[in-house]
Structure 1
């Protein structure tokens, strides 16, 4: 099994839709630290699990300096962003989204792990 990860920073705005009062329902932004984890039993024709540049284009290129409420089909919580990321890259099985220092959401697509998770 081959594993790769790509870390990047994404600056974007959002406002959460919540069932309770919170300052997070107001428009605000973050500099998210995002780490994407990919794996494959076989390398592609280029000898890669996934091209780091393609990962960056799919995630950073789409989200950076955007308004996440318009870009994503879900309420843009850190958890939902992590889940959305795993769906954008076929070999991605896990994503971590750090919204602020100490606040990190992780999503693991169990259908892509086969009971095994690395990195």
Structure 2
């Protein structure tokens, strides 16, 4: 099995729709640090798991310098963003989203070796 990871920095804003009082319900910004983890049993025709450039383009085109509430169809928590990333990149099995120092969410896709749930 081959494994690669790509670290991406994304600047943007969001507000959280929460069931309780929180300052996070107000619009605010982050410089997110996102790490995308990919794997493949075999390398592609170019000798890669996937192209790092394509990972960055896929994430940046949707999230970078955007108000996430306007571009994502869900409450843009770090947890939901991490899951969304695994859905956007076929080779991605894990995504880590860091909002700030000490605040990190990780989503790991629960697939077996053949890609089945």
- TM-score, with structure 2 as normaliser: 0.94
Give runs of aligned pairs for residues 1-119 of structure 1, distance below 5 A.
Answer: 1-111=1-111
CA RMSD of aligned residues (A): 1.1
Q: Distance in 1 between matches of 2:111 and 2:74?
A: 21
Structure-2 change in CA distance of 1:25 and 1:61 (3 Å) = same
In structure 1, how many angstroms separate the alpha carbons of the residues matched to 2:42 and 2:71? 32
* CA distance in 2: counterparts of 1:57 and 1:112, whole angstroms: 27
CA shift for structure 1 position 15: 0.3
Q: Stretches of 4+ moved more than 3 A in 1?
A: none
Secondary structure at the counterpart of residue 82 of structure 1: helix
Q: 1:13 to 1:113 in 2, by over 3 A?
A: farther
Where in structure 1 are there 5+ consecutive unaligned residues? 115-119
Flag structure 2 segments of 5+ consecutive residues without an equivalent: none
How much has 1:112 moved relative to structure 2? 5.4
User: Does the C-alpha gap of structure 1 residues 113 and 7 become closer, same or farther in structure 2, counting only changes over 3 Å?
Assistant: farther
